[in-house]
């Protein structure tokens, strides 16, 4: 008696569960609407099993024709059902259920063709798209032409402009990489767009801090620049505390990222770095939490009318400034090495903390760990001062005051740690 193939059985069970997941949503949709639907729970489960069987037979016979014939059959069936449904109820025009049935057939086949995890992920996505019809339609209804044009410009800049830029330095000092600089442009512009979308969906007191928290994983400098510029716009006048919280959360994440980088590259350096980084992180997080508590009260007292802040031009201007600072850092490292590691760390920190952190963590393997930890702390403090300068130069008066107070607390914590260790 042949043994049961547990993997195959699990693949078929996965296909059945995918069909049930999508089918449950469609069954609920049928119950909420009076017009007839071509498929419900049982139909979608059978469609998924039909796809799994078609995929398995194709695999056993080493031919794709069985799967192709099954796809043609299920497509013809759902189209026939669609025509009959529209004849009974012309107002129920739409292909959502029909396309979901074809997708479920293909997901069932995918589950038995060695891509079970992918099939489950796409199946969950299909069910989510079907279930969130009203929120998605409502969000689209709130979009204006500026929002659509902003997304199109970002897509053009990402998929057309970025690939044609050279991925190599083009200056004599080996500092400026056009593709890397354009990625920075996309990051800044994209963060503005993501923050806008989250604010529209969640409200300013939730969306702005969430943008800062996630954006800090990539670039706290870009988050600071984007939010500082937005704070001067009238529609964000009631969101000062939310913006301050978003910036400070991005800084908190950047502090934590430094510790993670050191842990990965040279964990032996971590004990000498923690006494400086932990106080700065705690102080920054405390200020962020305080502003977040105030954010809800401010925004509830005054509604925040929003418009899309996306601007490639502003992002390009910042990238040009960033490129100029990169050149200064490179020239200083090449022509003034005698000024010492601390000077280089402070100078490098004006543009990017990650690069100098990784370099110093590697240096500490053979060099002085105390010097390396102090230099990393100095780079972090330098970076914090530069970001505060961006807020002072570009932010609203209310945001300047909030960030200056928080910066003083962070600097005091960092300098005290350096002096005491």
Structure confidence by residue, pLDDT tens digits, 13-62: 999 999 999 989 888 877 766 555 666 888 899 999 999 999 999 999 98
Structure confidence at residue 215 (pLDDT): 76
The model carries a pTM of 0.59
CB 53 within 8 A of CB 64: no
Structure confidence at residue 1 (pLDDT): 43
Structure confidence at residue 172 (pLDDT): 85
Structure confidence at residue 418 (pLDDT): 76
Structure confidence at residue 284 (pLDDT): 95
Give 277-333 pLDDT, tens digit per residue: 999 999 999 999 998 888 765 544 344 444 555 677 777 876 776 677 667 656 765
Instruction: Determine the angle formed by the axes of helices 341-348 and 312-335, rounding to 10 degrees.
Output: 170
- Residue 260 pLDDT class (50, 70, 90 cuts): confident
């Amino acid at each position: 008696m042949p043994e049961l193939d547990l993997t195959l059985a699990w693949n078929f069970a996965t296909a059945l569960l995918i069909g049930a997941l999508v089918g449950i949503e469609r069954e609920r949709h049928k119950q909420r609407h009076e017009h007839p639907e071509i498929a419900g729970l049982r139909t979608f489960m059978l469609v998924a099993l039909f796809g799994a069987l078609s995929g398995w037979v194709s695999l056993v016979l080493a031919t794709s024709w069985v799967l192709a014939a099954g796809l043609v059959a299920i497509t013809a069936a759902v189209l026939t059902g669609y025509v009959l449904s529209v004849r009974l109820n012309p107002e129920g025009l739409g292909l959502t259920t029909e396309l979901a049935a074809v997708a479920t057939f293909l997901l069932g086949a995918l589950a038995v063709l060695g891509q079970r995890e992918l099939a489950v992920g796409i199946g969950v996505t299909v069910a989510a798209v079907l279930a969130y019809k009203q929120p998605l339609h409502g969000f689209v209804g709130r979009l204006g032409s500026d929002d659509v044009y902003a997304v199109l410009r970002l897509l053009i800049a990402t998929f057309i402009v970025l690939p044609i830029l050279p991925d190599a330095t083009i200056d004599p000092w080996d500092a400026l990489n056009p593709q890397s600089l354009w990625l920075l442009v996309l990051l800044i512009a994209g963060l503005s767009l993501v923050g806008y979308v989250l604010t529209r969906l969640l409200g300013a007191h939730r969306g702005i801090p969430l943008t800062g928290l996630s954006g800090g994983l990539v670039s706290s400098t870009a988050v600071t620049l984007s939010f500082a510029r937005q704070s001067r716009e009238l529609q964000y006048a009631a969101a000062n505390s939310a913006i301050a919280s978003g910036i400070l959360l991005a800084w908190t994440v950047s502090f934590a990222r430094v510790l993670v980088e050191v842990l990965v590259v040279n964990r032996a350096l971590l004990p000498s770095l923690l006494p400086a980084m932990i106080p700065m992180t705690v102080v920054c997080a405390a200020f962020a939490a305080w502003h977040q508590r105030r954010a809800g009260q401010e925004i509830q007292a005054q509604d925040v009318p929003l418009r899309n802040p996306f601007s490639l031009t502003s992002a390009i201007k910042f990238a040009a400034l960033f490129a100029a600072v990169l050149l200064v850092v490179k020239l200083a490292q090449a022509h003034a090495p005698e000024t010492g590691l601390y000077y280089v760390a402070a100078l490098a920190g004006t543009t990017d903390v990650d690069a100098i952190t990784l370099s110093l963590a590697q240096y500490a393997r053979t060099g002085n760990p105390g010097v390396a930890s102090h230099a990393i702390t100095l780079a972090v403090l330098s970076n914090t001062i530069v970001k505060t300068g961006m807020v002072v130069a570009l932010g609203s008066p209310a945001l300047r005051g909030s960030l200056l107070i928080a910066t003083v607390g962070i600097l005091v914590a960092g300098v005290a740690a350096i002096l005491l260790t």
